[in-house]
Amino acid sequence: MADVNALNRDFTQYDQVEKSHTYRLAEHPSDTFDEEYEIATLDFDQFLNGNAKDRSKFVEEFGTAVQDIGFSILTGHGIDTSLYDEIHDLVIELFESLSLEEKMRFRAKRQGSVNQGYFPIEETSSIHPDQVEGWVWCRRAFDMPQDRDTEFRIEDFWPDSKYEQSLRRLTTAHEQLFIPIAQAMFQSLGCNPHVYDEKLTKTNFGLRLNYYPPLDDEQVRSGAGRLLGHEDVDLFTLVPAPRDEGLQVWNHRNNSWVRLNAPQGSLIINTGDYMQRITNDRLPSTTHRVALSEDGSHSSVPRVTFPIAVYVWEDEHLEVLPGLGEAKYEPIKAITFHTRSTSKFYGDDYAVKS
Ligand SMILES: [Fe+2]
């Protein structure tokens, strides 16, 4: 495992899109911060229910935000935010009520592209000792519409069926937003907004629960931080605004970090590697990490997040969209792209050759 001073440049052989910047995986006293940059907060209801003028205004502002920094914050997304409160409590219950032995029964292993299951503390990746426990499920773990070639059994994926039921409500609610978000992104680039409508119908995703336990002084002094700097491997990610501080976003324009604190009930959206690849680098896969809070809450309360990463199924191909200039990238099968990228975190054996 690399030490806490590791740089992203130590792992560039895994990148499947161009990433030319250099950053430390964990926070460091030499980091610089951009206190001026404000990540755009936009009303998604303008796009979902507005007239033509509202929609084009949203598309322009959303496109500017995503091209500029790869992040935007959406209000007006239509999801009942009491669901977010319910899931927050459920995440704490899941991680705190089960013994390590019970959790380890579901230890993460590859399912298609996705490394699905439980990740113990300091084992979210094999390259950095992050102070977080995680749990990931892809669509296969849910009783949701999909083509299956094997029998679905709740007990194969879940310590208790109540977790599947509650988290299915969360993923089903978010799934309604996958296609509209993609349409707004593609429209902002002048592409056919519907180009991924079919691929994103009943598509695969990765729901990840993150439980960042309160840190003692020794853990703080270790410099490991809570979640290493990384880019998401997906098309885009939806993150209900966390209650606690810590999310930092890389600003490519001035090589500094922006602290992102989104309003409660809002939804943070960021683009990932799949999207950078198919948009020929027009939408960046933006680096982000979770660091210590400024208000000291990392010493007293657990931090909880539940991002959902939007993928296409493994046998789809990722190909630069028409109208975006000469393609910098060859078409590539999604599982090859995905597992080559994430073998950075899970070891060289994780990459699927095909
Ligand atoms: Fe991420």
How far lies 354's CA from each of 179, 277, 314, 321, in Å? 28, 18, 11, 22
Residue 133 pairs in a beta bridge with 211
In the reported structure, the alpha carbon of residue 17 is separated from the centroid of ligand 1 by a whole-number distance in angstroms of: 16
Beta bridge partners of 41: 73
Is the pLDDT confidence value at 49 over 80? yes
How far apart are the CA of 32 and the centre of ligand 1, in A? Answer: 20
**How confident is the model over 142-199, as pLDDT tens digits?**
999 999 888 999 999 999 999 999 999 999 999 999 999 999 999 999 999 999 999 9
What pLDDT sits at residue 2? 58
Percentage of the chain lying above the pLDDT 70 cut = 99
Strands 247-251 and 308-310 turn out to be: unpaired
CA of 340 to the centre of ligand 1 (A): 17
Cα 288 to averaged position of ligand 1 atoms, centre (Å): 6
Cα 241 to ligand 1 centre (Å): 13
Give the residue ranges of DSSP H helices in 213-300.
217-222, 273-278
Comparing C-alpha atoms, which of 62, 18, 10 is closest to residue 236? 62
Which spans in 211-309 are helix H? 217-222, 273-278
Rounded mean pLDDT, 195-224: 94
Q: What is the overall mean pLDDT for the chain?
A: 95
Q: Does the pLDDT of residue 1 top 70, yes or no? A: no
244-272: per-residue pLDDT in tens? 999 999 999 999 999 999 999 999 999 99
What is the C-alpha to C-alpha distance for residues 239 and 315, in angstroms, rounded to an integer?
A: 26
Report pLDDT digits (tens) over 275-326.
Answer: 999 999 999 999 999 998 889 899 889 999 999 999 999 999 999 999 999 9
Q: How far is the CA of 161 from the centre of ligand 1 (A)?
A: 27
Place 331 in a pLDDT band, splitting at 50, 70 and 90: very high
pLDDT in tens, 64-112: 999 999 999 999 999 999 999 999 999 999 999 999 999 999 999 999 9
Whether the model clears a pTM of 0.85, i.e. scores above it, the answer is yes
- For 310, counting Cβ atoms within 10 Å of its Cβ (0-12 exposed, 13-18 middle, 19+ buried), the class is buried
Q: Confirm if 124 and 26 have CB atoms less than 8 A apart.
A: no
